[in-house]
Amino acid sequence: MNKKERLEKIRRFVTDYQIGTQEEIVVHLKEAGISATQATVSRDIKELGIVKIPLKNNTYIYELPKSIVKSLQLAENNIEGSQVMGNMLNLNVIPGNTVFVKGQLVAAFSDKIFSCVADDNSILIVAKTEEAAKEISEQVKKW
């Protein structure tokens, strides 16, 4: 798994779970089949701009900056459906929001996308392989 995929997994873990230590991230990555050291995770956290925030019980958890969380929520709230055919994936998007969603897709899956075309209410992704199209589709469903 490459760095970009590892960063996306870390971003999702921090969004989906209350994670308080880098070691917890290493464990989550290992469970996802990704080998990473605490030092690598530390660098990834810095690169992603993840910060520690205090909770009421005097503990701390990692959190993404509000701007990243908001953009992820915007993308997930704008995709209405998807269909896969071979190495192509078509996403139905709320009209007027495709440019934003396309940017999120390209940022998250640039290594798997051959081309991406958007109109007012849909995005056609031509993936490099059928497997990549299926993987993108599955990941987008989790958004």
Per-residue model confidence as pLDDT tens digits over 75-128? 666 788 889 999 999 999 888 778 878 888 888 888 999 999 999 889 999 999
30 and 94 together in one domain:
no
Q: Which tokens is 132 given?
A: 């990549």
Q: Which tokens is 30 given?
A: 């290992």
Tally of domains within the chain: 2
132 and 117 together in one domain:
yes
37 and 101 together in one domain:
no
Instruction: Return the DSSP state at 97.
Output: -
Containing structural domain, residue 20: 3-63
49 and 87 together in one domain:
no
Q: How confident is the model at residue 71 (pLDDT cuts 50, 70, 90)?
A: low
Give residue 115's pLDDT: 95
Q: Which of 141, 142, 138, 100 is nearest to 120 (CA)?
A: 100
Instruction: Report yes or no: 82 and 90 within 8 Å, Cβ to Cβ.
Output: yes
82 and 103 together in one domain:
yes
Q: Which tokens is 12 given?
A: 């999702």
81 and 59 together in one domain:
no
Give residue 3's pLDDT: 86
Instruction: Return the DSSP state at 121.
Output: S
Return the CATH number at 100: 3.30.1360.40
Instruction: Return the DSSP state at 1.
Output: -
97 and 128 together in one domain:
yes
77 and 123 together in one domain:
yes
90 and 26 together in one domain:
no
57 and 73 together in one domain:
no
Mean pLDDT of 125-133: 96
Q: Compute the distance between CA of residue 129 and CA of residue 143 in angstroms, rounded to an integer.
A: 21
Give residue 125's pLDDT: 96
Q: Judge residue 112's burial from the number of C-beta atoms within 10 Å of its C-beta, 0-12 exposed, 13-18 middle, 19 or more buried.
A: buried
116 and 76 together in one domain:
yes
